[in-house]
Homo-oligomer: A and B are copies of this chain.
Amino acid sequence: MDRTPDMTAADHIEQCLSRIARHEPMIRAFAAFDEEVVRAEIARVPKSGPLAGLLLGVKDIIDALPYPTASGSPLHEGRIPAADASAVAQLRAAGAMVAGKTVTTEFAFFSPGPTRNPHDLSHTPGGSSSGSAAAVAAGFVDIALGSQTAASITRPASYCGVVGFKPGHGCYSLTGVGALAPSFDTLGLLAADVRTVSAAHAVLAGTMPEAPVVEARAPRRIGLCRTPWWGQAETSTRQALETAARLFSADAEIVELDLADFAEGARLQAAIMAHEAAQSLFAEMQHQGKMSPVLHRMLVGGTRISRHDHLGNLRQAEGMRARMAGLVADYDILLAPAAPGEAPSGLAATGDPVFSRLWSLLRLPSITLPGLTGPAGMPVGIQLLSARHRDEDLLAHALWAEALLPARPRPMLRETGQTP
């Protein structure tokens, strides 16, 4: 939280709203933002609770009244949901205040919205949780809901220099969240630090009010995963991974893991996603004129994967999950690249998901940590992962890792006079 200890909750909120007023015209993190609605929300939400005083951004595939859920598509523009998503209801009941809906790529796939990277407005923030990552990086909100099917939390967290937590598949309720590929769709959190993520995680995952607070804990053994896609890692990502491994080796044994056996994982993830997305977006697919060519191509590709081949892909994915469960059991956490490098320049694409596809296929909990930077001074994240159903252990180790990494880079938000 961007909040000094002696700042009152009211001052903190005013500071966030003032940052939004100044910088949102350039950053464009919000798909829907209305200061009057936010002020009514602030007046209404309970002042107690584990998330009291925190402003929340909600990715625009997730229902949050009174806003429509447009899912980054003209096809869903103005769609007012019947109710809050369960996760939004849970966070609101814990004291969080919805600041607005954050920009998503079209249906959480690749076609970008207008959001810019707060660290350099000429660079992509990554996607699909583009607005959530940018809003946290710019200090507009304390925490944001995002979602990941391929790389949609990990990559924007890495590019925007914030913490991005994707819990194990199935951990948070998806009621009121637009589906892309249910085999992988996972709701997650973006925030400035691990402690804020952990507080919101306890609300979303635990249904007990007395959910235990996560304490920092050093891992004994870390599996270092350069992954079969290491050849696609830029120098900045290679250096970030080596730097993190060196810092972590002060407390933990680092063992390099060969994931050559998992090289098919990226292809499998893409094929299963395409087939399932063609089911989820069946009705939308009939309106080619209101859909980006990149999404339409993916969906048509999905319909061309025969049922026989799709079932074969699902069986291969299950086999890989079983193999990874055996491998990861010997390590407290895995350390892996989060993205190929710094955020690419330009806003026409959101970067390459290659370093997350395997992990999304395997359904492991993942957290991306900021602190390291590349040659342009832009953030480069690292990714930690744990075994399935070890989300709280991962958060405890992430608290430890965060303390060893440099402080996250803060964007230098300037008055550029640029029109977005």
Contacts and interface: CB of A to CB of B under 8 A. Distances in A.
Interface of A: 76, 79-84, 86, 89-90, 93, 170, 172-175, 178-179, 182-183, 204-208, 211-212, 275-276, 278-283, 286, 302-307, 311, 314-315, 318, 322, 388-389, 392
Contacts of A174: 179, 182
Nearest to A63: B82
A195 to B, nearest CB: 18
A252 B315 CA distance: 27
A117 to B, nearest CB: 31
Contact of A84 (B206, B207, B283, B306): B283
Given A81-B82, A82-B79, A275 B207 contact: yes
A83 B84 CA distance: 17
Nearest to A211: B307
B307 A173 contact: no
30 contacts: A79-B82, A80-B82, A82-B82, A84-B283, A86-B280, A86-B281, A86-B282, A86-B283, A89-B282, A93-B282, A170-B182, A173-B179, A173-B279, A173-B280, A206-B306, A206-B307, A207-B278, A207-B279, A207-B282, A207-B302, A207-B305, A208-B304, A208-B307, A212-B307, A307-B392, A314-B389, A315-B388, A315-B389, A318-B388, A322-B322
A349 B50 CA distance: 39
A204 to B, nearest CB: 8
Contacts of A90: 279, 282
A302 B314 CA distance: 31
Nearest to A178: B175
Nearest to A173: B279
Contact of A389 (B211, B282, B304, B311): B311
Contact of A208 (B82, B306, B322): B306
Contacts of A283: 83-84, 86, 89
Nearest to A321: B318
A349 to B, nearest CB: 26
A409 to B, nearest CB: 33
4 pairs of A and B residues whose beta carbons are closest in the complex: A89-B283, A173-B279, A207-B303, A206-B307
A387 to B, nearest CB: 10
A208 B83 CA distance: 34
A279 B183 CA distance: 19
Contacts of A86: 179, 279-283
Contacts of A276: 173
A126 to B, nearest CB: 25
Contact of A279 (B82, B172, B278, B302): B172
A106 to B, nearest CB: 16
A51 to B, nearest CB: 14
A402 to B, nearest CB: 22
Contacts of A280: 86, 173, 175
A302 B81 CA distance: 26
A307 B212 CA distance: 9
A358 to B, nearest CB: 19
Contacts of A212: 307
A274 to B, nearest CB: 10
A306 B210 CA distance: 9
A249 B84 CA distance: 53
